[in-house]
Amino acid sequence: MMKYYNYAAGPSALFPEVVEQIKSELGNWANTHSSVFEISHRGTEFMAFAKEMENTFRELLKVPDDYAVLFLQGGGRGAFDAVPLNLPLKHNRALYLTSGHWSRQPALEAAKYIEVRTAELVDKDYQPTKLDWTQETQDVDYVHFTANETVEGIENFTVPKVSPGVLIVADMSSDILSRPINVSDYDVIYAGAQKNIGCSGVTVYVVRRSLLGHANKFCPAILNWQIYADSDSLFNTPATFSWYTCGLTFKHLKDTFGNLENLEQVNIRKVNKLYDYLDSQDFYVNKVNPAVRSRMNVSFNTPSAELDAKFVKEAQEAGLYYLKGHKVIGGLRASTYNAVSEEAVDALVQFMKLFADKYK
C-alpha cells in the first residue's frame, strides 16, 4: 500500500499520534460527552487543560518565571502590530534585521507606528552578513529578527549582538520548540502555531514581565499583552481547537523526546540526509550558505521551471505532497518540521534520486 507524506510549509503536518488522539476524543473529550470545541473555554475541564498546556510549554522551552506566556489570536501578522504597540518606546525607533520574505513584512507593518530602520542579516546571495549590530542600535528601542525564513530556507541560529538596553524581539513562528534556546537572551518571542506546534489560530508570545503594561493608548485590547497576562489568555473566546492541538503536541514532545536537546539531534540527523544528498550531486541546487541553512525548510531547484513543475506533479503521484516552492521565489521546498518523520525525508531523497536519473 502506498504511503503518503506531507511536506507542507504551513499549516503543516501534525504528529500522527496527535491526530489519532484527536480522532479518538472527537465526540467525548475529557469525559464531557462533547468535543473540545463544543464546550466553554471557562469550564473546569478546559481551564485545567489550558494551565497544563502552558506549564508543559514552559518546561520544554525552560521559560523563566519572570516571563509571561500568552496565547493570542491574529497569527504572526497580528504580532507585527502587537510588538510596536506594546513595547515601551523611548526613541520611537526600531531596527528590523531582514533575511528573507517573512522578516520584511513586520518591518512594513511597524512603520505605521514608529520609525523603522532595516539592515540585511543575509545578502542577496544567501550569505550571512554580520552578527554585531552594536553601532547601529545605539539610538533604537528594539531589534527585531526572524529566526527562520520558511520561503528561502534560511535559519538564524545566533542572537544578534546589540547595544546595552536595546530589546531583542524574535519571530520564531517556524522553528520554535525545534531546538533549545536561552529564553533570557530575548525580550519578546512570538510564534504562530501552524508551523511546528499545532493548528493555525493561536500565536504564542513569551514576554519579559517587565515589558507588560506599556501598551500604546491606540493598541487594541485584543492585542494588549497586559490584558492577556491578567486574564490567563482568556480575555476573549480563544481558538479552543487550536489550543487543544498545541497542548497535545507539547505533551507528545515531552513524552517522546523528553527535552529539546534530544529533539534537536533528531532534527539535525533528519535534515542532514536531505542536505547531504543535495551537496553530493549537480542536478538540484540549494543556494543557501551552509552556515544559515534551515533545519525546518529546505529550498531547492531543478535545472528549469518546467522540471520543477514536473517534480511537483510526479512527487504527488508517488505520495509526496506539497513540495512546490513559495510563490515569491518559486522552485521547490520541503518542510522538515518536528512532526515530519525521518522516513518521510528518506522517501523524498529516494524520489529525488529517481527523478534526477530520469531527467538529467
Indicate the annotated binding residues for pyridoxal 5'-phosphate.
76-77, 102, 150, 171, 194, 236-237
Q: How far apart are CA 117 and CA 136, in angstroms?
A: 9
Query: What is the maximum span of the chain, computed from C-alpha positions, in angstroms?
Result: 62
Bridge partner residues of 163 (DSSP):
none
Bridge partner residues of 94 (DSSP):
116, 142
Annotated binding-site positions for L-glutamate: 42
Q: How far apart are CA 145 and CA 129, in angstroms?
A: 14
Which alpha helices (H) appear in the chain, and where do they start and end?
A: 16-25, 44-61, 75-86, 101-110, 225-230, 240-257, 260-279, 305-317, 342-359
User: Smallest Cα–Cα separation from 321: which of 18, 3, 106, 92?
Assistant: 3
Length reported for the chain: 360
What are the CA-CA distances from residue 283 to residues 150, 192, 332, 356, 360 (Å)?
A: 23, 35, 13, 6, 7
Q: How far apart are CA 176 and CA 119, in angstroms?
A: 23
Active site residues: 102, 171, 195
Annotated binding-site positions: 42, 76-77, 102, 150, 171, 194, 236-237
